[in-house]
Amino acid sequence: MSFFYDQLETSDPEQRQTRLLQSIQQQLKLARQKAPAYQNRLPDIESLQDFANLPLTRKSSLLELQKDNPPFGGYSAISAGRLTNIFASPGPIYEPGSDRPDFWRFARTLYAAGIRPGDLIHNCFSYHFTPAGAMVESGAKALGCAVIPAGVGQTELQVQTIADLRPQAYVGTPSFLKIILEKADELGADVSSINKALFGGEALPPSIRSHFVERGIRAQQCYATADLGVIAYESSAQEGLIIDEGVYLEIVRPGTGEGLPDGEVGEVIVTNFNPDYPLIRFATGDLSAIMEGSSPCGRTNTRIKGWMGRADQTAKVRGMFIHPEQIDKVVKRHPEISRARLIIDWQNEADQIKLLCETDNGDEPLSASIADSFRNICKLRCEVELTHIGNLANDGKVIDDIRQYD
Q: What is residue 9's predicted lDDT score, i.e. its pLDDT?
A: 97
Strand partners, 357: 340, 386
pLDDT-based confidence at 150, cuts 50/70/90?
very high
Q: Taking every pair of C-alpha atoms in the chain, what is the biggest distance, in angstroms?
A: 74
Direct distance between the N- and C-terminal alpha carbons of the chain, in angstroms, rounded to an integer: 60
- Whether residue 348 has pLDDT greater than 90: no
pLDDT-based confidence at 319, cuts 50/70/90? Answer: low
Q: 3-class SS at 320?
A: strand
Give pLDDT, residue 228: 96
Cα–Cα distances (Å) from 251 to 262, 267, 290, 342, 390, in that order, read: 8, 5, 7, 21, 19
Question: Which of 14-23's residues contact partners 24+ apart within 8 Å by CB, and which partners?
Answer: 16/300, 16/301, 17/48, 20/48, 20/248, 21/47, 21/48, 21/51, 23/248, 23/273
Query: Which of helix, strand or coil describes residue 297?
Result: coil
- Contact between 275 and 340 (Cβ < 8 Å): no
pLDDT, tens only, 275-296? 999 999 999 988 999 999 999 9
The runs of H, that is alpha helices, within 188-230 are 206-214
Residue 111: enclosing H or E segment and its boundaries? helix 107-112
How does residue 61 score in pLDDT terms, banded at 50, 70 and 90?
Answer: confident
Mean pLDDT on 140-168: 97
| pLDDT value of residue 359 | 94
pLDDT value at 406 more than 60: no
The mean per-residue pLDDT over the stretch 254-260 comes to 86
Mean pLDDT value across the chain: 93
Dihedral sign, CA of 103, 107, 113, 115? positive
CA distances from 36 to 26, 52, 272, 374 (A): 16, 22, 17, 38
7-304 adopts what CATH topology?
Rossmann fold (3.40.50)
Instruction: Give the CATH architecture of domain 315-401.
Output: 2-Layer Sandwich (3.30)
Beta carbons within 8 Å of 397's beta carbon, 6+ residues apart: 313, 341
Contacts of 7 (CB under 8 A, 6+ apart): none
Q: Is the pLDDT of residue 218 over 60?
A: yes
Cα distances (angstroms) measured from residue 137 to each of 162, 205, 220: 17, 26, 18
- How far apart CA 74 and CA 35 sit, in angstroms, is 6
Other CB atoms closer than 10 Å to residue 215's CB: what's the count?
16
Mean pLDDT across the stretch 235-256? 95
Q: How large is the C-alpha radius of gyration of the chain?
A: 23
In this predicted structure, the answer to whether residue 309 has a pLDDT above a threshold of 70 is yes
Residue-wise pLDDT tens digits, 100-117:
999 999 999 999 999 999
Please give the average per-residue pLDDT across 70-97, as a whole number.
Answer: 92
Residue ranges per structural domain of the chain: 7-304, 315-401
Confidence band, pLDDT 50/70/90 cuts, at residue 314: confident
Region 55-79: what's the mean pLDDT?
90
User: Given pLDDT bands bounded at 50, 70 and 90, which one contains residue 405?
Assistant: low
